[in-house]
Amino acid sequence: MFSFTNKSFAKYEKIFFDLSIKNIDGNNLELSKYKNKAILLVNVASNCGFTKQYADLQELWETYKDRGLIVLGVPSNQFGGQEPGTNKEIKKFCEVNFNVNFPMTDKVDVKGENIHPIYLWAKQNYGDSAIPKWNFHKIL
């Protein structure tokens, strides 16, 4: 559920940080905001057997955010229909059940015809292993 690479990050840095995504509140989130930080990109779902990982992700965020780690939750309903809620419902679920306050994005496609540009970038630069096969796939 982790995807790592040994390719040089600097080769792709400019392209990645030129991308953006809507946050869970519908506002534009420029990835350039996170330049010079480590980003843990995680596709998430509220009705998955792995949903309890929200607690671990929150703990990771609280422990390392001041040292430059960004945990970025990316809701997707592409695996078993396990994220059917609206952004508002997803946000409330995460806050109430796991006290999540790490950055979350708009619900997007992480694979397929309508893949979000962030995941398309990951696939183009790191291959198919960067594309989630299920919920809570992580790319660092």
Catalytic machinery residues: 48
Element (H, E) at 20: strand 20-22
Pairing, β 138-139 against β 38-44: antiparallel
Q: Residue 42: beta bridge partners?
A: 73, 138
Element (H, E) at 118: helix 117-126
- Per-residue exposure over 91-113, b if at least 16 CB sit within 10 Å of its own CB, e if not: bebbeeebebebbbbbbbbbbee
